[in-house]
């Protein structure tokens, strides 16, 4: 059965999409079968892997509106072991279309039933808000992986996320924070070092040893439609995501369930 991981943080620009894409690509390169799910109408993950949201036949939008159909019909293969359910702007309308529907927070969870037995890891990338798509992500996930941008107010972002997870436990009782990864780290500054120390002393073993540095190659790669390990394999960003993948594997087990 797949480990289903939601990349959640209510703030934008913290590295959710970058981490979903590059951690997913690194896990696939380690031999895991990985499904990435873009459930953000901005479709950054979709575009970052070289797909044009305007050209899609099917996307996460159709998945949410036809949950009995499963996910395979909307899934595209990017490279060996790496699949994606892409997103498109049409998804923005789904929030309203589904407004009156009972159980609308559980659509993704239900749609993923079959996919769970196909993949080793399913990584879900929601928008930077606490709306319907983030709720669907948290309801579908086994664990939340938190990208925490290392800046002065980093720790202030956590209580709101923890409160949301508590609320979502009504829908998904076993949901926990499975890990925190420090992102956009600039170790040259004293502030960055101090904040990272504070995060580690507060959250202990939940915080991955690996940190993701600020690295311009990571910002450039999406425009090329490539993961960092394709775009700049020896960059600090690529090295960091390889290390994070190794840690994730150690945390969740490396045995592949075919
Ligand atoms: N470690 C990093 N170094 C440099 N740029 C980064 C890094 N992580 C993300 N970025 C860039 O910062 C912006 C926001 O990142 P993104 O992953 O899209 O955040 P989110 O999905 O949380 O909104 C993007 O332009 C991305 O390319
Ligand atoms: Mg994003």
**What is the DSSP track for the chain?**
-PEEEEE--SSSSSSHHHHHHHHHHHHHHTT--EEEEE--TT-HHHHHTT--GGG-SS-HHHHHH-GGG-SGGG-EEEETTEEEE---TTHHHHHHHTTT-TTGGGHHHHHTTTGGGT-SEEEEE--SSSSHHHHHHHHH-SEEEEEEE-STTGGGHHHHHHHHHHHHTTT-TT-EEEEEEEESB-TTSHHHHHHHHHHHHHHGGGB-S---B--HHHHHHHHHT--HHHH-TTSHHHHHHHHHHHHHHHHH------
Pocket flag, ligand 1, residue 134 (CB < 6 Å): no
Q: Decide whether any atom of ligand 1 lies within 6 Å of the 215 Cβ.
A: yes
Q: What is the pLDDT of residue 257?
A: 46
Point out the least confidently predicted range of 70-84, 158-172, 232-246: 158-172
User: In this predicted model, what pLDDT tens digit does every residue of 195-225 receive, in sequence order?
Assistant: 999 999 999 999 999 999 999 999 999 999 9
Statement: residue 253 has pLDDT above 90: no
Mean pLDDT of 127-141: 95
Cα(99) to ligand 2 centroid in Å equals 23
Q: pLDDT by residue (tens digit) across 1-37?
A: 999 999 999 899 999 999 999 999 999 999 999 999 9
Q: What's 3-250's CATH class? A: alpha beta
Q: What is the pTM of this model?
A: 0.97
Of 80-84, 97-101, 184-188, give the range with the top mean pLDDT.
80-84
């Amino acid at each position: 059965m797949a480990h289903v991981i939601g990349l959640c943080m209510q703030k934008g620009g913290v590295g959710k999409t970058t981490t979903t894409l590059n951690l997913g690509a690194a896990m696939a390169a380690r031999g895991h079968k990985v499904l990435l799910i873009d459930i953000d109408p901005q479709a950054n993950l979709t575009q970052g892997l070289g797909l044009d949201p305007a050209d899609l036949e099917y996307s996460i939008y159709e998945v949410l509106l036809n949950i009995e159909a499963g996910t395979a019909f909307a899934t595209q293969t990017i490279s060996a072991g790496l699949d994606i359910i892409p997103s498109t702007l049409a998804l923005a309308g789904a929030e309203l279309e589904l407004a009156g529907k009972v159980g609308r927070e559980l659509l993704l969870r239900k749609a993923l039933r079959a996919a769970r037995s196909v993949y080793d890891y399913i990584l879900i990338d929601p928008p930077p808000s606490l709306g319907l798509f983030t709720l669907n992500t948290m309801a579908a996930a086994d664990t939340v992986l938190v990208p925490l941008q290392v800046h002065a107010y980093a720790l202030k972002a956590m209580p709101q996320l923890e409160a949301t997870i508590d609320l979502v436990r009504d829908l998904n009782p076993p949901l926990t924070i499975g890990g925190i990864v420090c992102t956009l780290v600039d170790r040259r500054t004293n502030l960055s070092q101090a904040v990272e120390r504070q995060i580690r002393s507060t959250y202990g073993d939940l915080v991955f040893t690996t940190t993701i540095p600020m690295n311009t190659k990571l910002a450039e790669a999406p425009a090329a439609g490539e993961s960092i390990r394709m775009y700049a394999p020896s960059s600090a960003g690529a090295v960091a995501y390889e290390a994070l993948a190794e840690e994730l594997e150690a945390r969740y087990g490396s045995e592949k369930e075919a």
